[in-house]
A and B are shown apart, each in its own frame.
Chain A
Amino acid sequence: DQQVKQNSPSLSVQEGRISILNCDYTNSMFDYFLWYKKYPAEGPTFLISISSIKDKNEDGRFTVFLNKSAKHLSLHIVPSQPGDSAVYFCAATWRGGGSNYKLTFGKGTLLTVNP
């Protein structure tokens, strides 16, 4: 039973255009959401996060939008660059567990940015 779903295994965009990666979740307890980027043969690295009290968080070219009523979040990358080509994982957690919290990850979306 997947609690965090990334329904698009892959996405291809042209350099300079917008990349939109989507994520849905089913657990209403989740109150904190994160995106990770992973290059081949490396560990995932933290990209951006958002608390459930917000609907948008921006960091440079990266913006995450959260729609709580739809249990949906998206990551926008503008403009996309070839170096953004990687697997992107959506993750979610409930902070009420204190130090006992765990991240639940989606299956990932492979983004390819073509020059």
Chain B
Amino acid sequence: NAGVTQTPKFQVLKTGQSMTLQCAQDMNHNSMYWYRQDPGMGLRLIYYSASEGTTDKGEVPNGYNVSRLNKREFSLRLESAAPSQTSVYFCASSEAGREEGYGYTFGSGTRLTVV
């Protein structure tokens, strides 16, 4: 059982380049999330998708777009990368409820450097 899979694990971009971070989960969860982690800033929510077909902005959405392709996949796109987007990006999924609790399952992260 793979859980949440993120690709790529590492990426270096030049300023202005675009790229898409991929995320897939195999736990049949309805909700998926994208967070970024920066030193001294903790985990900040970029976008989330409460269910297939819906997406909403989080705390730091500027410069990003997302696509909930189907129930399994939730991608994050940087249209024109900036050095301020250098970060570690985590995808997560969850299924709220009595049995599942309210915790997330996280992927192992994508370390992105924009030069």
Contact = CB atoms under 8 A, between A and B. Distances in A.
Contacts of B74: none
A36 B37 CA distance: 14
A95 B102 CA distance: 8
A32 B102 CA distance: 8
A9 B40 contact: yes
The size class of the interface chain B forms with chain A is 20 to 34
A99 B101 contact: no
Nearest to A46: B103
A93 B42 CA distance: 16
Contact of B106 (A32, A45, A99, A107): A45
Interface residues of A, number: 26
Contacts of B51: 99
A115 interface: no
Contacts of B31: 99, 101
- Scoring B30, B51, B96, B103 by chain A CB atoms within 10 A of each residue's CB, the highest score goes to B103
Contacts of B33: 102
B102 A93 contact: yes
A89 B103 CA distance: 12
A106 B37 CA distance: 11
A100 B50 contact: yes
Interface of A: 6, 9, 32, 34, 36, 41-46, 49, 89, 93, 95, 98-108
Interface of B: 4, 30-31, 33, 35, 40-45, 48, 50-51, 56, 58, 90, 92, 96, 101-109
Complex A-B, nearest 6 residue pairs according to Cβ-Cβ distance, in ascending order? A43-B106, A107-B42, A105-B43, A46-B103, A100-B50, A99-B50
